[in-house]
Amino acid sequence: MIKLTRIAAVLAFGFAAAGAAAQNSPEVAIKKALEPRLGEGVKIDSVTKTPYAGLYEVRIAGDIFYTDAKGDYMFLGRVVNTKTFEDYTRARIDEINKIRFADLPLDSALKMVKGNGKRVIAVFEDPNCGYCKRFRQTLNEMDNVTVYTFMYNILSEDSVTKSRNIWCSSDRAKAWDDWMIRNRQPEAAPANCSTPHEKVFALGQKLRVTGTPTIFFTDGTRIPGAVDAKALEAKLASIK
């Protein structure tokens, strides 16, 4: 009984020491020092020591920056390996922003299939987004792709109206392309037609989609912005 009591005391001391060490770690100290300086309501998700230059990675939502061991300085930019030119920062941002593609509610998206449709992407677009229209031209020139389009209405109230008219069309994918590529207005939606606008908006907020277009791939990664055909083909080819 005495031996068991001693073991329990040793374990309790060990756990207490580990807890105290965690509380006194540089990561915790950095978070305590930085968070009040970043503005009201800003929350740091994590602080992690990096393997390079004594820097610490500070993550806030889907973004990262770097700081020193005391949190006195902020480093805004990218860490690049000068031997391989690998962008460590870009790779890290891609990692923390990954999603589960299979969890996307594809029934709330427009579906377009070209060719065999084997290559699959999902894209968040606003009907009043000029860059989205440019990207739609790129997609129009591609083959063997399936595109799920979430109409993410963030630019104006008119975006909601246009998306509703398109969603309530008899051929949604065609109505979307008619508007985005050929500038043909869709017919007004009937009064009793409901849309997934609120669901898609909530989804975009949850996934931290801050601009359109934002493209998601089946490996969970994303590309913000209207990439050209060459870049898109290269990305699709890299997905196993």
Amino acid letter, residue 108:
S
CA–CA distance, 165 with 73 (Å, rounded to integer): 50
Domain membership flag for residue 3? no
Q: Are residues 91 and 121 in the same domain?
A: no
The helix or strand, by DSSP H or E, that contains position 124, with its residue range, turns out to be strand 119-125
Per-residue pLDDT of the chain (240 residues; tens, 9 = 90+): 445 555 544 444 444 444 444 456 888 999 998 999 988 888 999 999 998 888 999 999 888 999 999 899 999 999 999 999 999 998 898 888 899 999 999 999 999 999 999 999 999 999 999 999 999 999 999 999 999 999 999 999 999 999 999 999 999 999 999 999 999 999 999 989 999 999 999 999 999 999 999 999 999 999 999 999 999 999 999 997
Domain membership flag for residue 21? no
Domain membership flag for residue 117? yes
Domain assignment of residue 71, given as a range: 29-96
Domain membership flag for residue 12? no
pTM flag (> 0.85): no
Q: Are residues 138 and 231 in the same domain?
A: yes
Provide the CATH number for the domain around residue 165.
3.40.30.10
Q: Are residues 200 and 135 in the same domain?
A: yes
State residue 22's pLDDT score. 45
CA dihedral 147, 101, 43, 50 (to 10 degrees): -110
CA–CA distance, 238 with 161 (Å, rounded to integer): 37
Domain membership flag for residue 158? yes
Q: Are residues 69 and 132 in the same domain?
A: no
Q: Are residues 76 and 107 in the same domain?
A: no
Q: Are residues 79 and 122 in the same domain?
A: no
List, in order, residues 6 or more apart from 91 with CB less than 8 Å away. none
Q: Are residues 222 and 122 in the same domain?
A: yes
Question: How many independent structural domains does the chain possess?
Answer: 2
Q: Are residues 107 and 186 in the same domain?
A: yes
Provide the CATH number for the domain around residue 80.
3.10.450.70
Query: Is residue 42 within 8 Å of 60, Cβ to Cβ?
Result: yes
Domain membership flag for residue 23? no
Q: Are residues 192 and 207 in the same domain?
A: yes
State residue 150's pLDDT score. 98
Domain membership flag for residue 20? no
Domain membership flag for residue 24? no
